Structure 1
Amino acid sequence: MSSFVSPSASRDADATTAMKWLPLLVLCLAQLSTSGDNATLSIATGALVADLHASMDLVNIANAMYSLAAGSLMVAAGMIGLIVGWKKTFRIGCGLLFLAELTAYFSPNMEVFTYGARLLSGVGGSFMIPSVLGIIASNYKGPQQAVAFGAIGAASGVSFAAGPIICGLLVDHLGWRAAFAAIAGLCIVIFAGSFLVPTPAKPERKVTFDLPGVLLTVIGLFSLILGFLKVSSWGLITPFNAPFTVMGISPAPVLVVFGLIVLAIMLKWERYREEKVGSALIPLSFLRTPQVRNGLYLTAFIFLAYGSGIFVTVSFVQVVAGLNGIETGLLILPFALGVVIFSLGLPVVYKNANPKRMCQLALLIGTLGSVLCIFGFEPSDFSFIVPVGMCLIGVSMGIVSAYSSYIVTSGLPSRDAQQSGGVQATSRNVGQAIGVAVCGMVMLTAITMSVQDAARSDTQLSSDTRTKVADITVIPYLSDSAFSKLMLDHGINQTDVAPLTTVYKTARLNATRAGMVATAIMTLLFLFGTRNLPTRTKGNQNDDASDDKKKTAVR
């Protein structure tokens, strides 16, 4: 007997499918907007220095402001989303980001740009990104949820590739203000599109605001992230250019330790509060469920791999090889394609994948990509091996992106799954800060020690030069001309600058390779966090259960 589907029923099914996935497009645009804001700042650095007379210190603070504001507030925003509703917090975040871009467009100086525009963008991101994850967790279930989370990962991949290219074209042809105005226009589109997003159901149990927990979380995360971000500029133990010291050592590790202590106190408080009132910023289910903990580790890996791999590669190709923003974007394109194709395509094409095995494979692929990059760097250039290695790192990130958020939400009760967006987003920020901090510290230490050791053993250099080089606290990652100027500024004899520059080229190459070695080691370490991952998605488990019932019926 043949089945017949009426044209009207087919049209209704198509409409239902469109209404299911159109909101996801809006959420992906939201992810693109926050990533585009950060990409624009990176590309516009030179223009900001020229137009607003910005110092590099202020540019670095502007770069860090988003991570500090967003990373510190995202957990709190996750609770606010449950209280007032995810659509409201999504729109609040979109509105704040719009104001941030307008502030950037009209900024008369770098102070307004940094403490106005960048701070607003971080606060806007802290509301928007957890809302995106919360809306997905509440509106999509099973395999559809895995596809939706994969699409968000793909949106990040698109921003990695398209961001530098599009922003570079806007900055070069229309100016940096036009680039920020374009993102403001995108925010208007996103806000209008938010009316297509279904309103998530409110949690069954009432959630009350936790002011002590929020204060402890903000202080702890701010200190932790700031400490990691400043390791490479303030020093790990010996202070470099720190504004102050703590008992003679750099304040960066002190801030990290202080942040960890405050967060430990916060977790104690949250345990007490959940037992007393039934809700918490970080529910106990996050800490007690091994699958959720491992999923959060993997979420941190995604941006740790991005932070460390991109940091090392972009530092080399721009400082040493001299690539501009657009050329750098084209170099990163294979990396971004790896993220996009695998984060979006894997849950669609390979529906019966084993999440645990896939994530383990992803980490091995990422390690291989990091190792390949080591052999692609040359003293003043790079070979095709570097984009190949970056592509593998992107594939690794894409595979993990396809499953990490689903792994977290599928291991939690419904209300906690919605609230996990803030914790997941914070894990990404902390992961990125750690990746940049570790690679930056490894590279600075390697380059400083290599130059000083070579200078100390080179008898052709004057004794005065060897003494002055040994007294330099830190030798930064610079171009050849910038290094020569640095040596002259430290009083090095002109005749000794040329041989020192030759030494520096070798030291810089070794430092770059050391940064990728650190990326490979960190990636391998994440394998220890895959032990408790699920081997099947909920959709697969339901299918298996159905098959078992059918077999039983046949028997």
Structure 2
Amino acid sequence: MSSYAPSLGGSSGVKTSTGMQWLPLLVLCLAQLSTSGDNATLSIATGALVSDLHASMALVSIANAMYSLAAGSLMVAAGMVGLIVGWKKTFRIGCSLLFLAELTAFFSPNMEVFTYGARLLSGIGGSFMIPSVLGLIASNYKGSQQAVAFGAIGAASGVSFVAGPIVCGLLVDHLGWRYAFAAIACLCVVIFAGSFLVPTPAKPERKVTFDLPGVVLTVIGLFSVILGFLKVSSWGLFTPFDAPFTIFGCSPAPFLVLFGLVVLAIMLKWERYREAKVGSALIPLSFLSTPQVRNGLCLTAFIFLAYGSGIFVTVSFVQVVVGLNSIQTGLMILPFALGVVIFSLGLPVVYKNANPKRMCQGALVIGTIGSVLCIFGFQPASFTAIVPLGMCFIGISMGVVSAYSSYIVTSALPARDAQQSGGVQATSRNVGQAIGVAVCGMVMLTAVTMSVQSATRNDSQLSPDSQAKVSQMAVIPYLSDANFSKLMLKNGISQHDVPALTNDYQHARLNATRAGMVATAVMTLLFLFGTRNLPTRTKTNQSDEVEDKRKNKAL
């Protein structure tokens, strides 16, 4: 059996087999896996980097943030570049940059080259690849096929969540961290070769010109917003923790976010003027004026907010408190990944006539239930089977939203704007993840600090001197028992008081972990307010009904 290639959209008579029709999608899914694998490898290789490259934790933290900062800041601009030079070329540029990033990582002689060379290149490469993946799907697949394709990309993300730590962990343990990055470089070669299977989309009917002022404003604004959110947990929300400077005695993090939002507001004003003048913009007016698009972008942000918050809290607990290694952690969150994969890919295939609005609303409720379940599964130094179950519910929630969010956005836009939406969707994900990690990190730090200080004041076993010193600490970080003991001794606490303080800290840390999951549940519930204008039927459903009515009339 044969069918028309999805990229042709009925405009060409060239036929292709069903298997060949979906091979390009496999290439795009591998591209999604490559960027996720790069980030997973860095997380797992942290200890090796500290040992081999004598990296400080400050540089490791910068290396972790570099991808999000570079990719998140440039993705909107890459969406316009894709329209100008073509999505296929942009995809290959991103793949080439990611390949160079992995080679740079492999040959890095020190942490500075690794951070400002490999990680920066990786972020720039991701900023070109991910919007191109979404742009190629929007242009090459239509109707129900597009929903399946977007679901497959969501499934690829789910696979990377669990396969990344396990596969990369094995490579790091048995061959070394350099060869883990080399493996991703080899994957990039496969993806680049596979790009020749991806159909070349038609160019937009209206010419798109590059918007330099808009790009500059967008990069500055997004960089400031994302960096501000990323630094909330280390600099503090209002009370400064470990900030390089203060503003009016407060942490600079919220001011950085506010500055970024002001710049983005100026950028949107400029984009409206530019679109009216030349007919193209980084952020087309259709993105802002269409409620369905706004709500779809909101749901797109939720996908990685749920990942950023739920995974951040759970992984922090099982690795810091329980002491699981990367491979064990990957196995523990396997139910979460399965929920993402099965529902993001399976729903569009099995349940073609689903109501997107009801499905997304139900998914958010399921995600909230999953977060609440996790709260009851955490113990002072362990966790029960309720935690993997709760993570499975959160994964199901992410999977359902992944199956529909991108389609909700693209189906409400003109063809050219639908292709360009990839950059905005990808940026929404980065911002959502930054917000999720920032909120949960801040909640957990505040909770553990306040809880320890409150318990210390009421603990008669502690000396007045130890009580005073603990109460004067601006922040008490989320640490293992051993590292907490070292921190207390470093701050002048007597050895005699450390065991009692550690006992207080264990209960405080448990409360902080549960508070982080409460924050995840609350943020998930808040997204229900962004589902009001979602469609109740897909375009495919509507066209099928029209076709059925036509046939009934003919009979």
TM-score category, normalised to shorter length: over 0.9
| Structure 1 vs Structure 2 CA RMSD | 1.2
- Residues 187-234 of structure 1 deviation map (CA, whole Å, 9 limit, x = unaligned): 000000000000011001000000000000000000000000000000
Distance of 1:292 and 1:144 partners within structure 2: 20
Name the counterpart of 1:133.
Answer: 134
Distance of 1:146 and 1:265 partners within structure 2: 34
**Contact kept? 2:221, 2:263, Cα under 8 Å:** yes
Name the counterpart of 1:227.
Answer: 228
* TM alignment of 1:410-429, pairs within 5 A: 410-429=411-430
Distance of 1:138 and 1:407 partners within structure 2: 15
Shift of 1:247: 1.5
What secondary structure sits across from 1:378 in the alignment? coil
Distance of 2:49 and 2:455 partners within structure 1: 37
**Contact kept? 2:32, 2:130, Cα under 8 Å:** yes
Name the counterpart of 1:120.
Answer: 121
Shift of 1:13: 11
**Contact kept? 2:340, 2:396, Cα under 8 Å:** yes
What secondary structure sits across from 1:495 in the alignment? coil
Shift of 1:246: 1.1
* TM alignment of 1:451-462, pairs within 5 A: 451-462=452-463
Name the counterpart of 1:512.
Answer: 513
Distance of 2:488 and 2:45 partners within structure 1: 28
In structure 2, stretches of 5+ residues that fail to align are 3-12
Distance of 2:377 and 2:14 partners within structure 1: 51
Name the counterpart of 1:213.
Answer: 214
**Contact kept? 2:461, 2:500, Cα under 8 Å:** no
Letter in 2 for 1:344: L
Shift of 1:481: 0.8
Distance of 2:458 and 2:15 partners within structure 1: 74
Distance of 1:511 and 1:529 partners within structure 2: 28
Distance of 1:457 and 1:508 partners within structure 2: 17
Shift of 1:55: 1.0
What secondary structure sits across from 2:241 in the alignment? coil
Letter in 2 for 1:501: T
Distance of 2:175 and 2:157 partners within structure 1: 25
Name the counterpart of 1:9.
Answer: none
Shift of 1:494: 1.2
Distance of 2:329 and 2:14 partners within structure 1: 44
Letter in 1 for 2:136: I
Letter in 2 for 1:133: L
* TM alignment of 1:470-481, pairs within 5 A: 470-481=471-482
- Residues 440-464 of structure 1 deviation map (CA, whole Å, 9 limit, x = unaligned): 0000000000011111222332211
Name the counterpart of 2:71.
Answer: 70
- Are residues 19 and 322 of structure 1, via their aligned partners in 2, closer, same or farther at CA, if it must alter by over 3 Å? same
Name the counterpart of 1:43.
Answer: 44
Find out whether 1:105 has 2:137 as its counterpart. Answer: no
Shift of 1:526: 0.3
Name the counterpart of 1:310.
Answer: 311
Deviates more, 1:52-61 or 1:456-465: 456-465
- Residues 356-386 of structure 1 deviation map (CA, whole Å, 9 limit, x = unaligned): 0000010011001000000000000000111
- Residues 280-304 of structure 1 deviation map (CA, whole Å, 9 limit, x = unaligned): 0000000000000000000000000
**Contact kept? 2:306, 2:398, Cα under 8 Å:** yes
Distance of 1:286 and 1:78 partners within structure 2: 13
- Are residues 219 and 13 of structure 1, via their aligned partners in 2, closer, same or farther at CA, if it must alter by over 3 Å? closer
Name the counterpart of 2:286.
Answer: 285
What secondary structure sits across from 1:281 in the alignment? coil
Name the counterpart of 1:163.
Answer: 164
What secondary structure sits across from 1:494 in the alignment? coil
Deviates more, 1:290-299 or 1:494-503: 494-503
Name the counterpart of 2:176.
Answer: 175
- Residues 63-83 of structure 1 deviation map (CA, whole Å, 9 limit, x = unaligned): 000000000000000000000
Name the counterpart of 1:372.
Answer: 373
Distance of 1:112 and 1:96 partners within structure 2: 15
Distance of 2:123 and 2:470 partners within structure 1: 40
Find out whether 1:324 has 2:325 as its counterpart. Answer: yes
Letter in 2 for 1:20: Q
Distance of 2:174 and 2:547 partners within structure 1: 59
Distance of 2:456 and 2:167 partners within structure 1: 44
Distance of 2:484 and 2:264 partners within structure 1: 41
Distance of 2:459 and 2:477 partners within structure 1: 21
Name the counterpart of 1:200.
Answer: 201
Name the counterpart of 1:407.
Answer: 408
**TM-score for the superposition, normalised by structure 1:** 0.97
Shift of 1:14: 9.2
- Are residues 69 and 144 of structure 1, via their aligned partners in 2, closer, same or farther at CA, if it must alter by over 3 Å? same
Shift of 1:18: 2.1
Name the counterpart of 1:333.
Answer: 334
Letter in 2 for 1:441: M
**TM-score for the superposition, normalised by structure 2:** 0.97
Letter in 2 for 1:492: I
Distance of 2:417 and 2:378 partners within structure 1: 45
Letter in 2 for 1:224: V
- Residues 84-126 of structure 1 deviation map (CA, whole Å, 9 limit, x = unaligned): 0000000000000000000000000111000000000000000
Shift of 1:248: 1.1
Distance of 2:247 and 2:21 partners within structure 1: 55
Shift of 1:169: 0.3
- Residues 286-335 of structure 1 deviation map (CA, whole Å, 9 limit, x = unaligned): 00000000000000000000000000000000000000010001011110
Letter in 2 for 1:74: M
**Contact kept? 2:360, 2:401, Cα under 8 Å:** yes
Letter in 1 for 2:401: V
Letter in 2 for 1:114: T
What secondary structure sits across from 2:206 in the alignment? coil
Letter in 1 for 2:477: P
* TM alignment of 1:25-40, pairs within 5 A: 25-40=26-41
Letter in 2 for 1:92: I
Name the counterpart of 1:247.
Answer: 248
**Contact kept? 2:286, 2:413, Cα under 8 Å:** yes
* TM alignment of 1:333-372, pairs within 5 A: 333-372=334-373
Name the counterpart of 2:470.
Answer: 469
Find out whether 1:485 has 2:486 as its counterpart. Answer: yes
Letter in 1 for 2:95: C
Deviates more, 1:224-233 or 1:543-552: 543-552
Distance of 2:174 and 2:20 partners within structure 1: 38
Shift of 1:15: 4.2
Name the counterpart of 1:541.
Answer: 542
Distance of 2:438 and 2:465 partners within structure 1: 33
- Are residues 507 and 437 of structure 1, via their aligned partners in 2, closer, same or farther at CA, if it must alter by over 3 Å? same
Name the counterpart of 2:91.
Answer: 90
Shift of 1:407: 0.2
Name the counterpart of 2:20.
Answer: 19
What secondary structure sits across from 2:496 in the alignment? helix
Distance of 1:327 and 1:16 partners within structure 2: 41
Find out whether 1:430 has 2:431 as its counterpart. Answer: yes
What secondary structure sits across from 1:203 in the alignment? coil
Distance of 1:241 and 1:465 partners within structure 2: 22
Distance of 2:235 and 2:123 partners within structure 1: 23
Distance of 1:199 and 1:549 partners within structure 2: 34
Distance of 1:366 and 1:482 partners within structure 2: 33
